[in-house]
Amino acid sequence: MTVGDALTQGTQLLDDAHISAPRLTAEVLLAHALRCDRVWLYAHSDEELSEVGWIHFGRYLHERLSGKPTQYITKRQEFYGREFRVTPDVLIPRPETEHVVEAALAVIEPAMTVIDVGCGSGAIAVTLALETKTRVIATDISEAALRVAADNAKRLGARVDFVAADLLEPIRRADVIVSNPPYVPATDAPSLQREVRDHEPHVALFAGDTGLEIYQRIIANARCRHLILELGFNLSEKVRAMLDEGWTNVRLIPDLAGIPRVLAAERV
């Protein structure tokens, strides 16, 4: 079997199983199996596929067909132009979360202290540390997640202090607090995609019965000049209503689809 034949067969299997973006997924999985980039696949499409390559590709296809996200198979996800390592201990960074980074970059000044609450893979914390060179502290309740985040920081050369904590418990004050918190109501679990529901960490997904519980805790304990939160779908007004008169310049920042994605506010 040639590389091109393997790619065609893999694409067909994924398409028949209604996996989204079957061609791209097959390319990513085959490139991962052969330890090459996707361009190489087309430059060598007539080359005979090695037995080891076919075994790895077959295993990766089986994992994806069973619902395992591609990023957990390859252990990689790009965020803000950098490659982050991801495992089932952390949420897969989404492009929408880059809006949190952009909102933070607009307010961070030299010598400020930034806290990323519930850092997961470290995508936000590491990115802000590299983009601003300011002090960044990252917290997470999951020690397994912190190990992934610390590995990403070390590999990418970012200076971030990691703290095992339940949200903001050990840290009382910072200039900027950012967070992509859990915001999925527990009652929504049956309707989630199986890739999310069955494979991503529930502690980072589900916030309680309403999806607002973690927002309430963060806002109640946020002692900062700037607060920046990623928003769940249809939660923007409910989260904004949690801010008392001590907050000003409250704004909702939409994503590329026009959906409110980030809440930013300042302390009077």
Domain residue extents for the chain: 3-66, 77-267
Tell me if residue 86 falls in helix, strand or coil: coil
- For the beta carbon of residue 19, count every other beta carbon within 10 angstroms: 18
Q: Which two tokens stand for residue 198?
A: 């069955």
Place of tokens 């990513």: 28
Average pLDDT over residues 85-99: 97
Helices (H) and strands (E) in the chain, counts: 12, 11
CATH topology of domain 77-267: Rossmann fold (3.40.50)
> Under the phi-then-psi rule, with left for phi > 0, alpha for psi from -120 to 50, and beta for the rest, what region is 172?
alpha
State the pTM of this model: 0.94
Evaluate if residue 171 carries a pLDDT over 90: no
Which has more confidence, 171 or 78? 78
Instruction: Give per-residue pLDDT as tens, 119-160.
Output: 999 999 999 999 998 999 999 999 999 999 999 999 999 999
Chain centre to alpha carbon of residue 151: 15
Q: Tell me which DSSP letter residue 2 carries.
A: B
Evaluate if residue 76 carries a pLDDT over 80: yes
Instruction: Give per-residue pLDDT as tens, 209-264.
Output: 999 999 999 999 999 999 999 999 899 999 999 999 999 999 999 999 999 999 99
Evaluate if residue 172 carries a pLDDT over 90: no
68: nearest Cα among 192, 194, 254: 194
Cα→Cα distances 197→9, 17, 185, Å: 28, 18, 12
* Cα 71 from Cα 77, distance rounded (Å): 6
Q: Is beta strand 135-140 parallel, antiparallel or unpaired with respect to 160-164? A: parallel
232: nearest Cα among 256, 200, 210, 217: 210
- pLDDT category, 169, cuts 50, 70, 90? confident
- Given this model, what pLDDT does residue 268 score? 77
